[in-house]
Amino acid sequence: MLKCIEVSKRFGGLQALKKVDLTVKKHEIAGLVGPNGSGKSTLLNLISGVYKPDSGKITFLDKDISRLPPYRICSKGITKTSQTVQSFPDMTAAENVLTGVLFNGKNGGEKIEALSKARKLLTFVGLNQEKFDVPAKNLNVVELRRIQLAKALATTPKLLLLDELLTGLTPRECDEAIGLIKLINKQGITVLIVEHVMRVIMGLCDRVTVLHHGEKIFEGTPKEVVSDERVVKVYLGKRFSLCED
């Protein structure tokens, strides 16, 4: 579905990514992990069109998307959630999701129908119904992350990019989120997730790619990743436990 071929990106004197290859297969849940500053978010931003690669190529469904703007990439079926929660603060939770339903270019129908879909998406991601008509500026970070996911789903993506969506959640909330992401995947949406909590990666991913200093150092199943000596040394640490929260 997605191929990144020798993708590189530099910001001034910082080489954020260096000839990174990444493949995401249709219907899978792929993981992207590595230390802070390893280039994970940069890679998602390149895939979604926020940045353009200095060299290399990105293809989606066999079409080159390397130089397309974000709205064109979104219209082709790639949607990304942000590491830093973003919203329209003076709009309600339902109105925030409604923008995605109305303006994604894929859904027709009246505003009333679109609002109904927005509310169904908020219910799907687990937002309390009492919060639907509350301005986003009055909601907490966990609630805003749920809204952000609903906004992403409103664009009817084929590939969903999740950038640390579970940050700040309790272990119980993480478990609920894992179940939700699996359900999204079962509906035919391919997922590429960046996450630091390895318990989440272990519980979700079919395959994991590890970045370090902007380069890919390993790729394999979750069990292979946590058993690789170099990954343990540069990222996981000797005390890593599969049961770690």
Residues 165, 100: one domain? yes
Domain end (from 168, 188, 208): 188
Model pTM above 0.85: yes
Residues 170, 134: one domain? yes
| 5-60 tens-digit pLDDT | 999 999 999 999 999 999 999 999 999 999 999 999 999 999 999 999 999 999 99
Rounded distance, CA 171 to CA 117, Å?
29
Q: Which two tokens stand for residue 32?
A: 């992207």
How many helices (H) and strands (E) the chain has is answered by 9, 10
* Most confident of the ranges 149-158, 193-202, 227-236: 149-158
Res 227 pLDDT > 60: yes
Q: Which domain holds residue 130?
A: 76-188
Strands, DSSP E only, in 61-164? 63-64, 78-81, 159-163
Could you tell me if residue 242 is inside a domain? no
Residues 88, 61: one domain? no
| Average pLDDT over every residue of 76-83 | 92
Query: What is the CB neighbour count within 10 angstroms for residue 54?
Result: 14
Percentage of residues in the chain having pLDDT higher than 70: 93
